[in-house]
Structure 1
């Protein structure tokens, strides 16, 4: 078995904290986009297809951000739980739970990558709309 101590999961604390900050910023950016799109929708009644495409895109992104944050928080939870088991001197459980923490962190990162791809599609929709002008 690998040699681990309470320090190993503790090393993830700064990374997970920064990750959660980044995810929160993504959510705030999405909220701003949705508010701006809503205002645009209320004032402009000409180009509903572009707005509808953006709405579909934003809905998918919101779901992804929710799942990204959930997986990141779960990863953080298991990381702290792992440290608790190290503190209680139960290394077998600590190592297993730390492994779960890493799995949820990977899931969170994969969802984040998917959300980035979708967000670039939103920009492509805007650019395509402006090319027609």
Structure 2
């Protein structure tokens, strides 16, 4: 088994923090899109078929961003818990929790990749509307 110390999970702190910042920015951009779409809807400026496609896409992206953030936060929590277990001398538990942390970080990245794929499909819907 590879030896790790309390410093190893601490190395993930900046990465997870930057990732969470990126996820928050994506959420805020999505919130702005939804508010703008709502305004267009209220003014009757939006094609109903296009609107249904956009709503479906936006709902899926919101769900993914929520799951991305939850996975990232869980990864961060596991990192802190891992460091605590190293500190109190429970190295076996620390190794397991560090593995969980990496797993949740990987899940978060996979969800992020999926959300990026869906967001590009949303742009394709907009481009198709302008053709």
Q: What is the TM-score with the length of structure 1 in the denominator?
A: 0.96
1:119 aligned onto 2:110: no
Q: Which runs of 5+ in 2 are unaligned?
A: none
Q: Tell me the distance in 2 between the aligned counterparts of 1:45 and 1:5.
A: 59
1:81 aligned onto 2:81: yes
Which residue of structure 1 lines up, in the alignment, with residue 43 of structure 2?
43
The 5 Å alignment of 1:27-66 reads 27-45=27-45, 47-66=47-66
Q: CA deviation at 1:44?
A: 2.4
**Alignment size in residue pairs:** 131
Tell me how large the CA RMSD over aligned residues is: 0.9
Q: Which runs of 5+ in 1 are unaligned?
A: none
Detail structure 1 runs of 4+ shifted over 3 Å in the superposition: none
Q: CA deviation at 1:43?
A: 1.2
